[in-house]
Amino acid sequence: MSKPKKGAALLGAILTKAASRQQNFHSACLAMEISPTFLAEIFSPESKKSVDSLSNVYLKKIASYLEVPLAQVYILAGILSPSDFVLESDFSQDFQRILQIMRQDHLWTGLVPDDDTFAKTGTEIKLLIALLYERVTTQSLIAKANIDSASFDHPTPSNDGLPPESLQL
């Protein structure tokens, strides 16, 4: 069985959204203002082009169509992964703490593999386990990013007299 082409999850999301709107792929592309031929080539298994060649403009149009944040489109496209949003050193400590909590939880203790098994497990799988456990227990266990824009040393870009909500990053 061959590995799906990068971006298969994004194509699946587009097709699912199109079906929910009673649209076909062609109509969905027109709604996104993207050439159906171009997008079909991007997702074609035989094509040398891939989702990596989609510009930010196209990805924003897809995000708007899917009604999801742009970062979610990058994840669906395989350009970013959820583990790209964690610091490995911080997450490693968090995950060890989460394992201890899970092993003390009478509903989970029998399900949690030993440390040797987790030593061979990638960050993405560990993150998935941690996020699922957080979701089930409604606890916040993973350190979340806390970014204070005032702490950056670079100047704020000029908005050329436009209101702040019209700025695009």
Asked whether the beta carbons of 61 and 27 are under 8 A apart, the reply is no
Note whether residue 144 is domain-resident.
no
Tally of domains within the chain: 2
Note whether residue 158 is domain-resident.
no
pTM value is 0.61
Range of the domain at 89: 84-137
Note whether residue 52 is domain-resident.
yes
156 — alpha (psi -120 to 50), left (phi > 0) or beta? beta
In tens digits, the chain (169 residues) has pLDDT values of 566 778 899 999 999 999 999 999 999 999 999 999 999 999 998 888 989 889 999 999 999 999 999 989 998 998 887 777 777 667 778 888 888 888 998 888 888 888 888 888 888 888 888 888 888 888 777 765 544 444 444 444 444 444 444 433 3
**Pair 96, 50 in one domain:** no
